[in-house]
Structure 1
Amino acid sequence: MITSAANQQIKNLIQIGRKSKARTEQDLFLVEGIRMFREAPRDRIIKTYVSETFYAKADTPAMLEGLEFETVSDHIFKLVSDTQTPQGILCLIRQYHYTIEEILASRNPHLVLIENLQDPGNLGTIFRTGEGAGVTGILLSRNSVDIYNPKTIRSTMGSIYRMPFIYVEDLASVLPALHENGITTYAAHLDGKNDYDRENYKNGTAFMIGNEGNGLSGELSSKADRLIRIPMEGSVESLNAAIAASILMYEAYRQRR
């Protein structure tokens, strides 16, 4: 059992949890909690860590069968955990590496393009909702929040394991490839010509979602095939990025059902 914060494994777990650079260099990320553990593909789990209290549960040994794991004292586990009330289990997982070709391989793509999103909860919610709405891939600008941020991972509720995604230096640079594959791009924008539910999303579709505070950049929105708007009542000008994305994704899903 690991009982010291000076243990090299514990130091490394803390670095991976807190530092994007450490995650990138080691090509790993952390997931925490029983649900995230159960849904994790076994072939991607590098190592599992459990608290002494969790390990003492009757069903834990069977749950860990075939996996490399370490037990950690409850006190040390709390140092590593990113949550207020740790469930007592976390895993090191190999990162995912998709290609644009894989993301465009779907017969009828339903994509989301994310520009400079900064809130981990928003990104995680888009991944989770996107899976539910049949999104086939997510493209993110390099300046968007790290998908492997523990808060983002937690917000995906397991969708991180199943939703293809890539980061690109410049979203505008991938638009020609989208057009070559018959994908129409739609920018959620205050200057949208049509309400979002007046468009046809039954064929290849890509929704552009911008930064929480500034929305889409003028450069990217100017390259969209269509500007669409979500109608508002009262004095509200715009919605939270994740909520706006959810409305658009589910409208496409509704039309395709």
Structure 2
Amino acid sequence: MSDMIVSAANPLVKRIRQLSSRKYRRREGVFLVEGAQPVWRAVEAGWAVETLVVAPDLLTGPVAGMVAEQEARGTRVARLSAELFTRLSDRDGPAGVAAVVRSRTTRLDDLAVRPGAVFAALHRVGNPGNLGTVVRTVDAVGGAGVVLVGETADPYAPAAVKASMGSLFAVDVARAPDAEAFLDWAKRNGVQVVAASGYADADHWRTAYRPPLAVLLGSEGDGLPDDLLDRADLRVRIPMTGTAESLNLAVAAGVMLYEARRHAPDLGG
């Protein structure tokens, strides 16, 4: 049984605070996961847990048993006071469990491209919450992975991890350094690129999708650049009949991913 940590000056507490920095996460190769379900999913998926961080007074139900089991297997467990854990948490009513987890790198060519595979590709997306929500949606539709094209938000940012609700541990997330690398990968693997654009002529639900495919969406403010739209296999739009000028990026991804799922027999569509 480790001693209770009550001071914000403790080295582990300082490390946890530093994990809000992308530069620090990249340098250390770790990130923070908070919440019973996400931490549990990380453990069950076999991701390397550096430290389980718990507040014993806040733990309830089976989570306490999971922590005890992991500690018995040799995982380091750090115990914080409820007051200190609550100060560190970004949630109302925290569950008293978090984890410092080793990050993973998935190469683009390591993504499994099967006949019915559906991917989400995000070009220069800057909002980590949107990114995490897309990862969660890809998981929900049984998708094959997410491709981050160019400079994007960090999938291990706290907001992205939180929005993914543990799906980050079930979905492969790969990086393409630029659009050229993404398009080359798609061509080599026979992946149809379906680009979303509010100016496209074709409605997304009247389009013949042909999995394997990648639903390609652009940044929140600018969308996809014209040269990338021109090189996509299909350009589709989501019809809007109200007064809204656009959809949230994660919502648009969900609409298109579920439509793509209907055309992928091995996903149950």
Structure 2 residue 119 is the aligned partner of structure 1 residue 111:
yes
**Mapping of residues 74-113 of structure 1, within 5 Å:** 74-113=82-121
Q: Tell me which moved more, 151-160 or 213-222.
A: 213-222
Q: Which amino acid aligns with 1:5?
A: A
Deviates more, 1:103-112 or 1:202-211: 103-112
Separation in 2, partners of 1:236, 1:246:
17
Deviations 1:46-91 (A, max 9, x none): 2101114135x57555321233201111222123222233221100
- The one-letter code sitting in structure 1 at the alignment partner of 2:53 is Y
Q: Post-superposition, which runs of at least 4 consecutive aligned residues in structure 1 deviate over 4 A?
A: 57-61
- Partner letter of residue 96 of structure 1? R
| Structure 2 residue 57 is matched with structure 1 residue 49 | no
Unmatched segments (≥5 aa) in structure 2: none
Match of 1:3 in 2: 6
Q: Does 1:240 align with 2:243?
A: no
CA gap 1:60/1:230 in 2 versus in 1, 3 angstroms = closer
Question: C-alpha separation between the residues in 2 aligned to 1:30 and 1:36?
Answer: 10
How far did residue 98 of structure 1 move?
A: 0.9
Counterpart for residue 189 of structure 1: 197
Q: Matches of 1:61 and 1:133 in 2, distance apart?
A: 31
Compute the displacement of 1:141 (Å).
2.6
**Structure 1: how far apart are the matches of 2:111 and 2:194?**
18
Q: Distance in 1 between matches of 2:7 and 2:153?
A: 32
Please say if 1:164 is aligned against 2:172: yes
Q: Does 1:251 align with 2:254?
A: no
- 2:5 partner SS: coil
| 1:62 and 2:70 matched | no
Match of 2:137, SS?
helix
What value does the CA root-mean-square deviation take over the aligned residues?
1.8
**What SS is found at the alignment partner of 2:235?**
strand
Letter in 2 for 1:34: A
Q: SS at 1:90's partner residue?
A: strand
Shift of 1:223: 1.7
Is contact 2:109–2:185 with CA below 8 Å preserved after alignment? no
Cα 1:58–1:247 change in 2 (3 A) is: closer
| Gaps in structure 1 of 5+ consecutive residues | none
1:52 and 1:73 in contact (8 A); partners too: yes
Give the TM-score of the pair, scaled to structure 2. 0.88
Q: Percent identity?
A: 30
Give the secondary structure class of the aligned counterpart of 2:94: coil
- Equivalent pair of 1:188/1:208 in contact (CA under 8 Å): yes
Aligned pairs, number = 255
* Alignment partners' CA distance in 1, 2:214 and 2:173: 13
**Aligned counterparts of 1:115 and 1:60: Cα–Cα separation in 2:** 37
The offset of 1:188, in angstroms, is 0.7
Q: Which letter does structure 1 place at the counterpart of 2:35?
A: G
8 A Cα contact 1:123 1:152, kept in partner: yes
Q: Which amino acid aligns with 1:191?
A: Y
Contact 2:194 2:215 (8 Å CA) reproduced: yes
User: How far, CA to CA, are the matches of 2:251 and 2:61 in structure 1?
Assistant: 41
Asked whether the 8 Å contact 1:186–1:207 carries over to 2, the reply is yes
